[in-house]
Structure 1
């Protein structure tokens, strides 16, 4: 199973006036970590769009647990992996560590999506290609 680890330092712009990470910023971290995981597998967004005629993998569900606060200047480590593939959706699991402690866990469900053939204003889920499953998958 492919896992990507990303280390970052918490910036002031990510924090509230108390210097604690404003919770929506974690979602931006996790979105970026997902892109890095796909890129590690050789499947950056431009490659996906060209090879598979999809627009991407939008979020349709999100569950998170905030276990310990992170603050301005903290160095954190984000571990990202695919937890499960289904026909046209998949779950991405993120664990954010501050030192050795788990600070945030999140599970994000995404859909492999392209434009709807009958309505260009809508997206439509498509089967996740086997090549993508093999490159990223839990098996």
Structure 2
């Protein structure tokens, strides 16, 4: 599986609520855009987050972020936000994400995500069906 084949892309539009007083996307909103793209990536793999919680008791939490802002996005821009799993362990993963406007890179981030029990918030193994799909997604499948 090539790098291009394992990169997921989600498209979104910039609305007034996403911008600051200067009409530029507020910096923290990129984290929301990244979250939406990861949610849609999981959904594309067949794992809606609420169903995953209800069926397995597992939820994902962000434990670390690093974001670099390169260019501003503005009202009405259409962005493409990509998801590329860099590392997947038994209970956590690291995801590289980029917000693009056409071929212009606007923001890039590395997000570390842990799997925890929804009740206790203690670390737990990523549910086996998702691990299997992720192994194939990352080109490690059997």
Which TM-score applies when normalising by structure 1? 0.87
Aligned partners of 1:64 and 1:107 also within 8 Å: yes
| 1:81-134, Cα deviation, whole Å (9 max, x unpaired) | 32211231111221111121111111111111104xxxx5x4111122342123
1:19 is matched with 23
Q: What is the CA–CA distance in structure 2 between the aligned matches of 1:131 and 1:125, rounded to whole Å?
A: 18
Q: Aligned-residue CA RMSD in angstroms?
A: 1.6
Unaligned runs of 5+ in 1: none
Residue 97 (str. 1) matches residue 100 (str. 2): yes
Unaligned runs of 5+ in 2: none
SS at match of 1:72: coil
Correspondent of 2:8 among 4, 10, 13: 4
Superposed, 1:50-129 pairs within 5 Å as 50-54=54-58, 56-115=59-118, 122-129=120-127
Q: What is the CA–CA distance in structure 1 between the aligned matches of 2:74 and 2:112, rounded to whole Å?
A: 27
SS at match of 2:106: strand
Report the Cα offset of residue 12 of structure 1: 1.2
Report the Cα offset of residue 46 of structure 1: 2.4
Report the Cα offset of residue 5 of structure 1: 1.1
1:136 is matched with 134
Q: What is the CA–CA distance in structure 2 between the aligned matches of 1:87 and 1:135, rounded to whole Å?
A: 13
Aligned partners of 1:38 and 1:136 also within 8 Å: no
Q: What is the CA–CA distance in structure 1 between the aligned matches of 2:35 and 2:64, rounded to whole Å?
A: 13
Q: What is the CA–CA distance in structure 2 between the aligned matches of 1:47 and 1:83, rounded to whole Å?
A: 25
Which TM-score applies when normalising by structure 2? 0.85
Aligned partners of 1:2 and 1:135 also within 8 Å: no
- State how many pairs are aligned: 133
